[in-house]
Structure 1
Amino acid sequence: MATARTESVSPALMGLNKQNGQLKGLTKAASAQPGATTQGKTSGALPLQKAGSAQEGGGGGIKFGDDWKKSLKLPPKDHRVRTSDVTATKGNEFEDYCLKRELLMGIFEMGWEKPSPIQEESIPIALSGRDILARAKNGTGKSGAYLIPMLERIDLKKDYIQAVVMVPTRELALQVSQIAIQISKHLGGVKVMATTGGTNLRDDIMRLDETVHVVIATPGRILDLIKKGVAKVDRVQIMVMDEADKLLSQDFVVLIEDIISFLAKNRQILLYSATFPISVQKFMAKHLQKPYEINLMEELTLKGISQFYAYVTERQKVHCLNTLFSRLQINQSIIFCNSTQRVELLAKKITQLGYSCFYIHAKMMQEYRNRVFHDFRNGLCRNLVCTGRFGHLGLAINLITSEDRFNLKAIEDQLVTDIKPIPGSIDKSLYVAEFHTADSEVDEKPGQLLDST
């Protein structure tokens, strides 16, 4: 699936500027991604968008007999090599599923040329109304697999909530809502709302007083709105659970069960999960009616992701990061820490080394987290230090102390993979697209640096 390219940001440091989680030098900002949009405000409230209401070239201007594809505003083609996770298809086309022309326009303008394997398997079954239990990896078109049939079935003549997408994190809610808004922008009236904890409840109540067709939410917030009588879900046709293994963990399962009790008995449930723990199997037996099972995963690790580890002491970690920055050709990197204190400290250290850096953690005000998250995604900074997970990654390097070796072994066993020691030099073809394509333009994958502490 095509993604817009982000230009490089110069790492030269001219001075420090700490503001709302953004530690960076006086660098030249990268241009925004072509075709990328930032939805909603950064004040904490999540967006309620009326798809197609303010878009140029909407579906209403296309007449019967017109060559509607000529009017599409397509993003630049993505020439990066794609793994078999998304290329091993049956050769189907999106037009094969008898989708509305206006929905097809949004799909193509997202840069999605042909359905990925998970989309080929999911879309026709979901359109038939049957429950689905799908095992699918992140980064293989999973969101489109359920959003496309869900949006196809929205009836604009009905002014109530018809579909609910449950996700475990705020960041995933924002990501999914942006995709839904983009691909439905030509449908002329589909209203998509994202709501999660950490935003103003009063704003959500006011928005639900108007027409909303699709709600994308975290469990706690939507349940709160349901119990207050604000979010009426008794006529919901489709409920999607993205990253169902997390949603059915001890942290969420009671909330999910409570939410389902408010839904109609004839609703359709679509589950997407990277793993099938016992909790998912129990839920399936209790709530799904003869679900269609999809399993496209041979292993848990993502194809195209190269993982290494390096044994270091605590005091060596910053020096190791500096060495990696100087030796790897990285467009953007994400560095994970396991505490908010370490996040801020490491971000400051990286800035002092001369690299632009943002940071984000749970103790920051939500409006600041939103701003940092969107700015980083739009390429305004090279490095992000955080306690969360973002984006599609190409190279993972784990910096671990001797005490972490048992955790590393447990991860290898669970993923059925072998994480090797970091070599003296890393083949750039593992993470830089220019070594895969004859195209003269360089298009790099972001790298990931994992700090186990």
Structure 2
Amino acid sequence: MTATPAPAPTFADLGLVPVLLQALDELQFAAPTPVQAQVLPLALDGQDVAGQAPTGSGKTAAYGLAVLQQVDVQQDAVQIIVLVPARELALQVRDALKKLGKYLPNLRVAAFYGGHAFREERASLQQAPHVVVATPGRLLDHFERRTIVPNQLKSLVLDEADKLLELGFQDELVEIVKRLPRRRQTLLFSATMSEKVVELIRKNLTRPRVVNAGEDTAELPENLTLLGHVGTAEQKPAALYHLLQRPETGRALVFCNTRERCQELTRFLQGRGIAAETLHGKMPQPERDKALLKLRNGSSQVLVATDVAARGLDVTALDTVIQYDAPDKADSFQHRAGRTARAGAAGTAHLLATPKEQAHVQKWPVAETIKWQPVKASKLPAALPKAPRPENVTLHVSAGKKDKVSAHDLVGAFVNVGGVAREQVGHIEVFDYYSYVAVPRQQAQEVAERLAGAKVKGKKVRVSIVA
């Protein structure tokens, strides 16, 4: 007689409070993922946890629900710190925690990261956030200036610990931990458990419970086509240009290994009439926001980026990935390629490789699925026809979330004052201190002039065309 398997646990079974269950129900989280089912009982019990969990396993909710249940919203102090390797991930985690904690009254969650003026963050700290999501360098700045004092800290979360170490944040992590209360809970999550990550666990976690929800294998989507183009380094620019001229290439993300190569390649493409933007870790944050937005709203066709800058990118409907430089590791190759062909859509990932790079890539199992072909000897003519410019142009508006401005408010202003037909107002993104709105190219100048000095939610705004 076979035993009946125990039913899978529900979120209520795991001991979550009603306000968190209410948010989960609204977010349509039907049942815990394996990592959530393993982590939540341990973390809610106050134990330190070291978890190995791949991207997409639900680890943000696993630690997020556990730490949110600890927050005392009556206490005006930082109680939770989540450290992440990149600005984009900081924003994603902040937004996820806000949604999970939607019914915790007066919960304050803030994200802090480099790339913009420190004074902007200082202003938002007049009332201490309960939860801080931050990159290590910027958090250490706040500690040193005493704009964040962590003496009431309950839990520290190290998210994507392998990437924190890979990006060289070891020294910052040591300095941060020195300033935290010894009596605290520490939760660490990593896609891989390298020797450096194990050492980080040994030094910073107390009798940790180890949870393994699988290694991040960066599996590629089934509907992804992998193509390799083999030629000399000198042939790569022309090969890239001709790939981008194909109608089927559509919206493309081009990967380079260094920021210098990104800048050089972007200038090369722009000089040949292709609407290209660059993205790398040393760019000021508003410039990074602008580059991403222009790709999302159709104001540009191509984003040329480094791996660091492209972590956590939120770009839907990406048709093509082109790896201009071959990466050193197979998982980097797969993470890059997997930026396209998402959510059931088809996509193509190209690799431009020299024979030496090809030989390196062919050592990886993924190479079996790459269709290789030689680069055709096609020279770039001296005077190239200009590629058609994108139909949309992005306008910068000097008001954002901190001014209580929403996308709905901007649509109203652009229609009623700017004279744009409602259906022609394109993609809108609202940031803390500014917003971007896409409009048809032929109307952009007139719309900017009409909106000059207009008021949105009571604030007089400046509107300008984004170069």
Say yes or no: TM over 0.5: yes
Q: Secondary structure at the match of 2:124?
A: helix
Given the superposition, is the C-alpha separation of residues 382 and 154 from structure 1 closer, same or farther in structure 2, using an over 3 Å criterion?
farther
Aligned partner letter, 2:253 = I
1:156 aligned onto 2:73: yes
**Distance in 1 between the 2:251 and 2:34 partners?**
28
1:408 aligned onto 2:361: yes
- Compare CA radii of gyration and give the structure with the larger one: 2
**Distance in 2 between the 1:340 and 1:248 partners?**
20
1:131 aligned onto 2:82: no
**Distance in 1 between the 2:237 and 2:30 partners?**
42
**Distance in 2 between the 1:310 and 1:252 partners?**
36
> Which residue pairs with 2:323 in the alignment?
none
> Which residue pairs with 1:422 in the alignment?
371
**Distance in 1 between the 2:68 and 2:144 partners?**
26
After superposition, give the CA deviation of every residue in 1:181-234 in whole Å (9 maximum; x if it has no partner): 233233231111111122222232333231211111111111121122221112
Q: Secondary structure at the match of 2:133?
A: strand
More relative contact order in 1 or in 2 (CA 8 Å, sep 6+)? 1
1:97 aligned onto 2:46: no
Q: 1:212 is matched with which residue: 97, 120, 129? A: 129
Q: Secondary structure at the match of 1:309?
A: strand
After superposition, give the CA deviation of every residue in 1:7-54 in whole Å (9 maximum; x if it has no partner): xxxxxxxxxxxxxxxxxxxxxxxxxxxxxxxxxxxxxxxxxxxxxxxx
1:371 aligned onto 2:282: no
TM-score, length basis structure 1: 0.64
Structure 1: 5+ residue stretches without partners: 1-89, 425-453
Contact 2:159/2:189 (8 A) holds in 1: yes
> Which residue pairs with 2:173 in the alignment?
256
1:234 aligned onto 2:187: no
1:222 aligned onto 2:156: no
Contact 1:109/1:183 (8 A) holds in 2: no
Contact 2:361/2:367 (8 A) holds in 1: no
Q: Secondary structure at the match of 1:285?
A: helix
Structure 2: 5+ residue stretches without partners: 1-6, 315-337, 342-347, 374-467
**Matched pairs, number:** 331
Aligned partner letter, 1:333 = A
**Distance in 2 between the 1:360 and 1:163 partners?**
31
Contact 1:249/1:279 (8 A) holds in 2: no
Aligned partner letter, 2:182 = K
**Distance in 2 between the 1:338 and 1:381 partners?**
21
> Which residue pairs with 1:397 in the alignment?
350
Given the superposition, is the C-alpha separation of residues 338 and 286 from structure 1 closer, same or farther in structure 2, using an over 3 Å criterion?
closer
1:384 aligned onto 2:303: yes
Aligned partner letter, 2:183 = N
> Which residue pairs with 1:167 in the alignment?
84
Contact 1:118/1:145 (8 A) holds in 2: yes
After superposition, give the CA deviation of every residue in 1:231-259 in whole Å (9 maximum; x if it has no partner): 11122111111110132358211211121
Aligned identity (percent) is 31
**Distance in 2 between the 1:117 and 1:330 partners?**
38
TM-score, length basis structure 2: 0.62
TM-superposed deviation, 1:161 = 0.5
**Distance in 2 between the 1:322 and 1:182 partners?**
42
**Distance in 2 between the 1:290 and 1:115 partners?**
25
Aligned partner letter, 2:290 = R
TM-superposed deviation, 1:104 = 3.5
> Which residue pairs with 1:314 in the alignment?
233
**Distance in 1 between the 2:218 and 2:109 partners?**
32
After superposition, give the CA deviation of every residue in 1:260-308 in whole Å (9 maximum; x if it has no partner): 1121222111111111111111122222122121222256333537555
Aligned partner letter, 1:422 = K
**Distance in 2 between the 1:298 and 1:362 partners?**
26
Quote the RMSD (CA, aligned, Å). Answer: 3.2
> Which residue pairs with 2:278 in the alignment?
359
Contact 1:301/1:417 (8 A) holds in 2: no
